Structure 1
Amino acid sequence: MIAAIAVPVLVASGAGVAHAHKSVSIDVDGKVQQISTFAGSVKGALDTNNITVGEYDVVSPDPNAALTEGAQIVVRTAKPIEVTIDGATHTIWTTADDTAGALAELAASGRSASIVAASRSSERQELKLPLITDGTVTIVDGGESKDVPVTGIATLEDVLKQAEITLGEHDEVKITPKDANHVTVTIDRVAIGERSETEEIAFETVEKKTDALDEGQTKVVIEGKAGAIVRTYKTTTVNGKETNAELIDEQRTEPTTKVVNVGTKAKPKPSKSSDSKQPPATGGAPSSGVWAALAQCESGGNPRAVSASGTYHGLYQFSVATWRAVGGSGLPSQASPAEQTMRAQILQKRSGWGQWPACSAKLGLR
C-alpha cells in the first residue's frame, strides 16, 4: 500500500523509482540460474539478463507482474512443428517437451493431429522435439505391430534403432498420439520402380493377283510379323501393393504386312483323251522294268492321264512347269509315251527319285 502512495508523488516530482534488490531464479526450458536484480517486474528481470521472450513462449509469472524477493520465473520456449489435421498441413507452436506431449495437447483441445516425419512427396522432416519421454512407442511397420518401451528422453531415431528398424529412402513415417506417454509410429514401406507392358499389334494380309501363278495357286511373298507397343511405367508400391503407375516411355514397332500372290493364270483344259471312259493309250509306253512300274504307280500306265485338279499330266504326272524345265513343250499328256519316259529319265538324273516321292518310296527306289 505505501509503495502505491509513493508512486504518484515520485512521478509528479520527476524523480526515478528505486526498487529494492532481489534474489530470484530463472528457469528457461529446464536450465535454472540464480540472479540478483533491482528490476521491479518479471519482464525487467528477463530483459536485464538478455532473455528474449517470443510471441508464443510461455512465462510464469506474467511478464508484467511485480517482481518479488525469491520469485521463481519459468520460461518455456515455443517451437514450431508441422502437423496434419484433417488432411491439411499446419504449423503450430508448442511448449511441450516432446512430440508425444505436443500431440496430446492438441488431442486434449479436440484436434486430432498427426505428424508426418517422412514422406515421398517431400524431404524427410527433422523433428524439432524428442519423440517421447518415459513412455511407450507402438511401431506399426508395414502392417506388423510391436511395442517399444522408452526410458528417459528418446528421439525417433533412438526408438527406431532400439527396435532395429532401418528406414528406406522413400518410406513414409507418421506419428499419432495415444496419450501423453504413448504414441504410435506407423511406417509405410514405399518402393519406386519401373515395369513394362507389351501390347501386340496384329499384322494385315494383302493379296496381290498375278498371272505368274495358275489360278487357285498362292505364294507368300513377304511373311507377316506382328508389331508391338512397349509401355514403361514408373511405379509406386506401398507395403508391397502398387498404388500408382505413371507412364514415362512408349516405344512402338510397326507390324510387317503379309503379302500373298494369288494366281490368275487359267489352267489348261484336259484333252478329251483324258476322259476316264476312253481306254489308256499304249504304243511306246514301257512295258517292263522300273519305268513301267513307276508309270503304273503314277498314272495307271496311261500316257494321257490328267489329275483331277488339272495340275499333273501323263505317265509320270509331270506338272507343266517341270515338264518345260526338262525341255518339254505343250502338255506332257500330249507327248508320246517315249518322250514322256525320256524326259522323266532326264528329271531323275537331275533331281533324283524324290520327284515321285510316294511311288518311288513304294517301289523301294529310295
Structure 2
Amino acid sequence: MTAQIEAEQAESARTTARRRRRWPIVAGVAATALVAGGAVGYADARKTVTLDVDGETTTLTTFAGSVGGVLEAQGVEVGERDVVAPAESSALESGTEIVVRTAKELTLDIDGEQAETWVAAADAHEALTLLDDRGSEVRIVASRSADRAELPLPVDGDDPVAVVADGETEVVENATAAVEQVLDAAEVTLDEDDRVHVTDIATAGVAEAADAAAVALVVQRVVTEEVVTEKPVEHGHETREDADRYADLGTKVAQEGKDGVRTIVERVTTVDGEEESRETVSDEVTTEPVTEVVVKGTKERPKPQPEPATSSSSSSGSSSSSSGSTSGRSYSVSGNRAIGQQLAAARGWTGSQWTCLEALWTKESGWNHLAKNPSSGAYGIPQALPGSKMGTAGSDWATNPATQIEWGLGYIAGRYGTPCGAWSHSQANNWY
C-alpha cells in the first residue's frame, strides 16, 4: 500500500470509528496515584479515551501521554502495514478516539482483473469504503476450499448483508460473523466450483435491497463440463481405369463413399448460466472417411467377324437361323463362337472351361444372337430372361453378340463361378 492509501485508510477509519456502533470490551485499568502532586496532579494526568481495535471498542482511563503509550499498556501490537489514528507519537488528550486497523491481504477483483492487496479494515464493508474512491467496480473475493468460503475479516460489523444466490436476495441481519456463517443463515449451500465475493449493493445489481443493506455477499454458480460436438469430414472421390472393362459400358461405382466424423471435445465453463470460457480439450478425426472409387473401362470391344461371302443364287434362298444382319453388320454362329472364345480367354477360361461354355450355349441358343425361346421369352446367346437384363452390358444387347456374351460371362461368374459350374447345373436341372 502507498502512503497515500494508508493515509486515506486512517482517515476513513477515524470516520468509521465515530459513526459505527461498538461492542464494548470491559478492560480493567489500574489507577495508581502519582507521588507528589496530590489530587490535582492526578486529575490532570488521568484521561478517558476510546480504543477501537478492528471494530471492538473499549473506553478506558489512562495516564499515558501518547497514543503509543496507550497501545503499549493495552498490549496492542502494531504491524508495519497496520493503520493507527491518530499516529502513535500523537499526544494524548481526554476524549481521544484511537482507531487501530490490522492490515489483511485480500484478493480483489477490480473491473474483472484480480490482484492481491493489503487493506487495513475491520470488515469487508469498511474495506470497500476505503477502496470506493478508485472509481471502479471492486469485489472482495473469498477463498474456496471444498464446500467452504472464507475471508480474513467479517462481512459487516454493523449492518445487515444482502445474500445474493440463485437469482434471489435475502437480507441477513447479524453479519458480524464469517462468510460461511452468513451463508448458513441464508440457507445457501456451496458447490465445489462456486465463487463467492463481497461487493457494494450497486455493483451487485440488487437495488431492491439498498434500503436494508450496504453490501452484498454474492454467490456465483459455476458449472464446468465437457461438451462433445461431431462434424462431418467430407469423403474424397477417385476414378480408376480398368483395362478389363469395356469402355462403352461407362463407369461403375466400385466402392461407395462415406463421410467421416470429426469429434471435438471442449471444456465449457458457465457462471450463473452464462458461458464464460470455452477450451478445446481434443479435436480429432474419430471415423476416417471412405473414398468413393469409380471404375472406368478402357477396353475396346472386339470387332465381329463378317459373314463369309456366298453366291447370288444361295443368297436368294431363305435366311438361316444361325446368321443375321443388323445395321449393315453381318454375324454368324462361327463368328459368335470365336468372339465367345476370345472373351472367355480374357477371363482365364480356356481349356476345359471353354469346352463347358461352348457346350452350355450350344445347348441354349446354338450361339445364335437372335435366338428367342417362344415359350419363356429368353433371348440371345446366353438366353437371358428377360433379354433386357443384358442392357447392363450395353444398349445394343438385342443385336450385338459381343454385348450378349459379355453379359453372359458376367452372369456365370457371379452365379456359378465358372462355365463348368454352370454347365454342371444345366445338365442336372436343364436350366442355368
TM-score where L is the length of structure 2: 0.54
Given that 1:134 and 1:181 are in contact with CA atoms closer than 8 Å, whether structure 2 keeps it comes out as no
Residue of 265, 283, 290 corresponding to 1:256? 290
State yes or no: 1:204 paired with 2:236.
yes
Matching residue of 2:181: 158
Residue deviations 1:265-306, cap 9 Å, x none? 23356778243899xx9xx989xxx95412x4646xx99x99
Give the SS at the match of 1:135.
coil
Structure 1: tracts of 5 or more residues without a match: 1-16, 327-343, 356-366
- Distance in 1 separating the partners of 2:194 and 2:57: 37
Q: Cα gap change, 1:192/1:325 in structure 2, threshold over 3 Å: closer, same or farther?
A: closer
Give the letter aligned to residue 126 of structure 1.
E
Deviation of 1:262 (Å): 1.6
Given that 2:124 and 2:156 are in contact with CA atoms closer than 8 Å, whether structure 1 keeps it comes out as yes
Give the letter aligned to residue 234 of structure 2.
A
Residue of 96, 101, 125 corresponding to 1:100? 125
Give the SS at the match of 1:262.
strand
Question: How do 1:82-161 residues align onto structure 2 when only pairs under 5 Å count?
Answer: 82-88=107-113, 89=115, 91-96=117-122, 98-107=123-132, 109=133, 111=135, 113-118=137-142, 126-133=150-157, 135-142=159-166, 144-151=167-174, 153-161=176-184
Deviation of 1:250 (Å): 1.9
Residue of 62, 69, 76 corresponding to 2:100? 76
Residue deviations 1:203-228, cap 9 Å, x none? 22222222312223344444433233
Matching residue of 1:309: 395
Q: Cα gap change, 1:216/1:324 in structure 2, threshold over 3 Å: closer, same or farther?
A: closer
Given that 2:155 and 2:198 are in contact with CA atoms closer than 8 Å, whether structure 1 keeps it comes out as no
Matching residue of 2:78: 53
Q: Cα gap change, 1:208/1:82 in structure 2, threshold over 3 Å: closer, same or farther?
A: closer
Residue of 175, 179, 182 corresponding to 2:214? 182
Deviation of 1:40 (Å): 3.9
Structure 2: tracts of 5 or more residues without a match: 1-35, 202-209, 308-323, 333-362, 367-371, 413-421
Matching residue of 1:267: 301
Give the SS at the match of 1:246.
strand
Q: Cα gap change, 1:51/1:100 in structure 2, threshold over 3 Å: closer, same or farther?
A: closer
Matching residue of 1:235: 268
Given that 1:215 and 1:263 are in contact with CA atoms closer than 8 Å, whether structure 2 keeps it comes out as yes
Given that 1:100 and 1:181 are in contact with CA atoms closer than 8 Å, whether structure 2 keeps it comes out as no
Q: Cα gap change, 1:231/1:27 in structure 2, threshold over 3 Å: closer, same or farther?
A: same
Structure with the largest fraction of helix: 2
- Distance in 1 separating the partners of 2:429 and 2:279: 62
- Distance in 2 separating the partners of 1:24 and 1:162: 39
Deviation of 1:117 (Å): 2.3
Given that 1:135 and 1:182 are in contact with CA atoms closer than 8 Å, whether structure 2 keeps it comes out as yes
- Distance in 1 separating the partners of 2:185 and 2:277: 33
Give the letter aligned to residue 43 of structure 1.
G
Residue of 395, 408, 427 corresponding to 1:322? 408
TM-score where L is the length of structure 1: 0.62
Give the SS at the match of 1:194.
strand
Give the SS at the match of 1:320.
helix
Q: Cα gap change, 1:169/1:227 in structure 2, threshold over 3 Å: closer, same or farther?
A: same
Q: Cα gap change, 1:321/1:347 in structure 2, threshold over 3 Å: closer, same or farther?
A: farther
Deviation of 1:324 (Å): 9.3
Given that 2:236 and 2:292 are in contact with CA atoms closer than 8 Å, whether structure 1 keeps it comes out as yes
Q: Cα gap change, 1:234/1:352 in structure 2, threshold over 3 Å: closer, same or farther?
A: farther
Matching residue of 1:192: 224
Given that 1:313 and 1:319 are in contact with CA atoms closer than 8 Å, whether structure 2 keeps it comes out as no
Deviation of 1:149 (Å): 3.0
Give the SS at the match of 2:150.
coil
Matching residue of 2:90: 64
Q: Cα gap change, 1:216/1:48 in structure 2, threshold over 3 Å: closer, same or farther?
A: same
- Distance in 2 separating the partners of 1:350 and 1:244: 76
Deviation of 1:131 (Å): 1.1
- Distance in 1 separating the partners of 2:271 and 2:429: 70
Structure with the largest fraction of strand: 1
- Distance in 2 separating the partners of 1:249 and 1:191: 20
State yes or no: 1:224 paired with 2:257.
yes
Give the SS at the match of 1:322.
helix
Give the SS at the match of 2:181.
helix
Deviation of 1:161 (Å): 1.5
State yes or no: 1:169 paired with 2:195.
no
Residue deviations 1:79-108, cap 9 Å, x none? 334444445546253333x2223324544x
Give the SS at the match of 1:173.
strand
Q: Cα gap change, 1:102/1:199 in structure 2, threshold over 3 Å: closer, same or farther?
A: same
- Distance in 2 separating the partners of 1:314 and 1:90: 93
Deviation of 1:245 (Å): 1.4
Matching residue of 2:375: 293
Given that 1:148 and 1:159 are in contact with CA atoms closer than 8 Å, whether structure 2 keeps it comes out as no
- Distance in 1 separating the partners of 2:263 and 2:429: 49
Give the letter aligned to residue 237 of structure 1.
T
